[in-house]
Amino acid sequence: MPNHPIDIHVGVRLKQRRALLGMSQTALADMVGLTFQQIQKYERGSNRTGASRLYEFSKVLNVPISYFFDGMPSGIVAGRFRSKKEAPGDYARGINTKGETLQLVRAYYKISNTGVRQKIRNAMKALAAQK
C-alpha cells in the first residue's frame, strides 16, 4: 500500500523542524524512545503517525501539533491534486528541506537584534525582486 499523502506531509514537516533545530535522527529517536530507523520511516511517511506520537514530537521539537499540518495542499486530504506540483513526494523535496535553506534560517535566528533581522529581510526581498 503506498504511503498516504498526509503521512508524507507530516513526515516532511517533522524532518524540516528536526533539521532546523540541528537535531540528528538519533537524538530525536532517543528523546522519544525510538530508533533512528523508525524516525526515518516517520519522515518518509511510511510509518503512520498516531496522536500520542505526534504529541511527543511536538513537545520535543517545541511546536504545536498543528505545525505538522501547516502548508498542506488543499487537495491532499481527498487524494486529489490540482497539479503535478501538489503530488505527494514532489513538494516534499522542496526548498524547505534543502540544507542551504536550513543554514540560512538557523543563521538568521541567531541574530538577536530584531532591527538587523528586519534589514536583512528587506534586503533579501529587494534582491529577490530584481530581474
Q: Which of 23-32, 58-67, 112-121 has the lowest mean pLDDT?
A: 112-121
Residue keyed to cell 529517536:
29
Per-residue pLDDT reduced to its tens digit, 6-59 = 899 999 999 999 988 889 999 999 999 999 999 999 999 999 999 999 999 999
Contact between 106 and 22 under an 8 Å Cβ cutoff? The reply is yes
Residues 6+ apart with CB under 8 A from 55: 65
pTM of the predicted model as reported, rounded to 2 decimal places: 0.69
Percent of the chain with pLDDT over 70: 82
b/e map of 94-125 (b: 16 or more CB within 10 Å)?
A: eebbeeeebeeeeeeeeeeeeeeeeeeeeeee
